[in-house]
Amino acid sequence: MAEGFDKRLAPVLNGDNELKLGIFGTNLRGGVTLAEFDGAFACTWEEARRYAQIADRLDLEAVIPVARWRGYGGDHNLGERSFETFTWATGLLAATERIQVFATCHVPIWHPVTVAKMAATADHISGGRFGLNIVAGYNQAELGMFGITLAEHDVRYEVADEWASLLEKLWTSETEFDWEGTYFKVAKAFSDPKPLQRPWPTIMNAGSSGAGRAFACSHSDMIFAGLTALDRAKAQIDEIKQQARAAGREDFAIFGRAHILIGDSADEAREQFERLHWTEADVNGARNVANIVSRNSQSTPFDEMKEKQILQGMIAGFWALPVIGTADDVARQLLELHGLGLDGIALSWPRYDEGLRQLEELILPRLIEAGVRRPIPTGVGAGAR
């Protein structure tokens, strides 16, 4: 019996809201804030489920994790406690009603035959709300735990290209097939059931290098753009859109990330931001990560940034754009980012409970008034009330 639907009807790609919103990093201790403080995410299942259910009730589109296998070192080794993202995503999908939940997948670790089956299972459990964030990999210390040696940067994307092509064929072929590629050889490959989203689940990629963007334009529905500063965001977004159009992808979506801190005044917000994301932060842990990324990834232009900017960027949202100020300031900056060309923004906060409350009470009403979000439909995420 035929089943399934066009994935453009799924939350992240549909037309319900002009500006899509998600939450980011709720699967590892500390979230994406490298500091120890009261109210930080402890990485319990109760927290992760509760945040996803709140986001579901607020009619947000996505929950997106960071795939981590070991901590960042430094003074507190944040990130050492984390949930594996496929099982985490499936659990959250079973606990929500509308929102799309992504798994973040390191290509060198997972075989396409395994991913095809896991993704289709999660898609069926959720009624077609699973998403896949494909990562080529950059951290040798993590890959070494699996006995894998990190390949040269562009080779990683050659592997990822073949990996994704094989995955797509597993999701669509109705008959067995042999795959004889450069990096994968599979005899009588087959996977059933097929995903509910057709031709396959929503795919995201965060590559910002030339090879990373080329991969995204070939295989992804959306790119998780690594925007480094508000004043450079438009040029980066325009460049990505131009590359997507050249690849024939007029419908290619661009998501950014925003790390939010709201205060009663702009000065108060800046003071809190500086205290949490520098004075009290795990700067040594941030330095460890920055060194790994600068050696092995081409996604962050460290040559354009000063040391404090590099480290504070890691501390505050894993190089998300800092969005700081009063509620009016924050709403204005989110609208400005949308006006620059972002189709969606994944949000993080130092304290997710506080941040989600502020989102509901202060930010969403302003975005609804601006016409980029619809009023929260009654009954959405009712199970979380």
Which tens digit of pLDDT belongs to each residue from 38-71? Answer: 999 999 999 999 999 999 999 999 999 999 999 9
Q: Using pLDDT thresholds of 50, 70 and 90, give the confidence band for residue 384.
A: very low
* Residue-averaged pLDDT of the chain: 93
> What CA–CA distances, in Å, run from 51 to 26, 31, 170, 244, 384?
8, 12, 33, 33, 10
pTM: 0.94
Residue 95 has pLDDT above 60, yes or no: yes
Portion of the chain with pLDDT greater than 70, in percent: 95
Domain boundaries, the chain: 16-373
Residue 301 has pLDDT above 60, yes or no: no
Q: What are phi and psi of 145, to 5 degrees?
A: -65, -20
| Cβ proximity of 214 and 246 under 8 Å | no
Average pLDDT over residues 273-297: 88
Residue identified by tokens 């109705």 is 174
Coil, strand or helix: which one is 29?
Answer: coil
Return the pLDDT at 299: 54
Statement: 16-373 belongs to CATH 3.20.20.30: yes
Q: Using pLDDT thresholds of 50, 70 and 90, give the confidence band for residue 202.
A: very high
